[in-house]
């Protein structure tokens, strides 16, 4: 197939491109390298990197990049502006506006170029805040999205993209799949910039803690997430090549919520059990806790999570340690 991956140089995108190339597809990755990198693609694609077509482009406005979508069998729309909660809650207006522009441009180009299938990636951040009440909150169902009340501008912007994808299916006749991701982790990842997300940032600071004896963690540790490894995410995306069209939003994530405190303790157990964890309740924590009822993903796609959190964290810690020589 001819497949286009927007945000193709990010953690998820680079792993997806590698899988698709290994299966013999013709793949075009589009990314402006704001967070992603060609090094990510080189690392994941290996010997297949030279088979990948790459475009460095800003997707917030239609330009020459749109031609790459012409007659594509599938467009995976992963590109958006997202980062850790510190960045998300201090740049809400720019994130909201930019994501609306990116979603509108990619959807418009997909219609113009007559793509056959459009896989849109949403986020659990789009669920109502009051349903994300803690680690013991009931697993979210897709029907819980409305009435809508996301906590962040990021959640709102991604929800608008979901609605846009639904209208595309209804009025443009394009097969549309909407996958709603919970908190994805894995490698290659950003772990030390101000845009790094929770688990890789904690893992990096824990590795530094071998010298300092201390790991600082944002929040009081009680806030939780449904962490899902990038390998499981790629499985779901590949399943979306042939399944899920017209099924509405499909959550991809585990039905267990893990507290940041427990995740940090697992990481410390991997790195050095003698490290002392210090929680900083003055820092932003985001939603208190959520997880997924993934029964729809199982029914429609045949998907379920397979990578345990401890296995995934150990792999990520080892990768970061190798990058830093720690």
CA distance 41 to 54: 10
Using only C-alpha atoms, what is the Rg of the chain? 19
Residue 89: predicted pLDDT: 87
pTM for the whole thing?
Answer: 0.96
The pLDDT score that the predictor gives to residue 252 is 98
Q: Which pLDDT value is given to residue 287?
A: 77
Nearest to 79 by CA among 16, 10, 148, 169: 10
Contacts of 255 (CB under 8 A, 6+ apart): 139, 226, 291, 292, 293, 294
Per the CB < 8 A criterion, the answer to whether 54 and 42 are in contact is no
DSSP 173-233: --EEEEEEE-EEE-SS---SSTT--HHHHHHHHHHHHHHHSEEEEEB-S--EE-EEEHHHH
Walk me through the domains of the chain, giving residue ranges and CATH numbers. 2-187+226-255+289-307 (3.40.50.720)
Find out whether 186 and 230 touch, Cβ atoms under 8 Å. yes
Give yes or no for a contact between 103 and 146, defined as CB atoms under 8 angstroms apart.
Answer: no
Q: Are 39 and 12 in contact (CB under 8 A)?
A: no
86-141 pLDDT, tens digit each? 888 899 999 999 999 999 999 999 999 999 999 999 999 999 999 999 999 999 99
Could you tell me which of 170, 199, 179, 317 has the C-alpha nearest to residue 261? 199
Six-digit token string for 187: 């490698």
Q: Is the pLDDT of residue 282 over 90?
A: no
Residues 6+ apart with CB under 8 A from 171: none
H or E element at residue 259: strand 258-259
How far apart are the C-alpha atoms of 109 and 59, rounded to whole Å? 10
Query: Residue 265: is it exposed, middle or buried by C-beta count within 10 angstroms (0-12/13-18/19+)?
Result: middle
Question: pLDDT per residue over 228-249, tens digit each?
Answer: 999 999 999 999 999 999 999 9
Beta bridge partners of 105: none
Q: What is the pLDDT of residues 164-181, one digit of tens each?
A: 999 999 999 999 999 999
Query: Helix (H, G, I), strand (E, B), or coil: what is residue 5?
Result: strand
Q: Indicate the SS3 state at residue 53.
A: strand
pLDDT, the chain, mean:
96
Per-residue b or e along 31-60, where b marks 16 or more CB atoms closer than 10 Å to that residue's CB: bbeebbbbebbebbbeebbeebebbebbbb
User: In the prediction, which pLDDT does 31 show?
Assistant: 98
8-state DSSP, 128: -
pLDDT digits (tens, 9 = 90+) for 244-279: 999 999 999 999 999 999 999 999 999 999 999 999
Neighbouring CB atoms inside 10 A of 30's CB total: 27
Per-residue DSSP letter, 134: S
């Amino acid at each position: 197939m001819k497949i286009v991956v927007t945000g193709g140089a990010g953690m998820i995108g680079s792993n997806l491109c590698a899988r698709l190339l290994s299966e013999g597809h013709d793949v075009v990755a589009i990314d402006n390298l704001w967070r992603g990198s060609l090094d990510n693609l080189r690392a994941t694609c290996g010997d297949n990197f030279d088979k990948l077509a790459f475009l460095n482009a800003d997707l917030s406005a239609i330009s020459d990049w749109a031609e790459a979508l012409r007659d594509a069998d599938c467009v995976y729309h992963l590109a958006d502006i997202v980062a850790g909660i510190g960045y998300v809650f201090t740049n809400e207006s720019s994130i909201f506006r930019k994501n609306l522009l990116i979603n509108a441009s990619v959807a418009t180009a997909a219609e113009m170029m007559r793509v056959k299938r459009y896989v849109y990636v949403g986020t659990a951040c789009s669920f109502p805040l009051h349903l994300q009440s803690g680690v013991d909150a009931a697993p979210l169902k897709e029907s819980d999205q409305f009435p809508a009340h996301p906590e962040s501008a990021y959640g709102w912007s991604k929800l608008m993209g979901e609605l846009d994808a639904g209208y595309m299916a209804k009025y443009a006749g394009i097969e549309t799949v909407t996958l709603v991701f919970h908190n994805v982790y894995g490698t290659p990842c950003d772990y030390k910039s101000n845009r790094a997300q929770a688990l890789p940032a904690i893992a990096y600071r824990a590795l530094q803690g071998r010298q300092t004896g201390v790991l600082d963690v944002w929040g009081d540790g009680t806030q939780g997430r449904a962490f899902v490894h990038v390998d499981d995410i790629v499985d779901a995306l590949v399943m979306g090549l042939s399944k899920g069209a017209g099924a509405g939003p499909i959550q991809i994530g585990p039905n267990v919520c893990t507290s940041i405190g427990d995740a940090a303790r697992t990481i410390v157990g991997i790195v050095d059990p003698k490290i002392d964890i210090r929680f900083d309740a003055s820092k932003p924590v985001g939603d208190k806790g959520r997880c997924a009822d993934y029964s729809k993903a199982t029914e429609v796609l045949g998907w379920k999570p397979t990578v345990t959190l401890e296995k995934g964290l150990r792999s990520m810690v080892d990768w970061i340690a190798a990058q830093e020589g720690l």
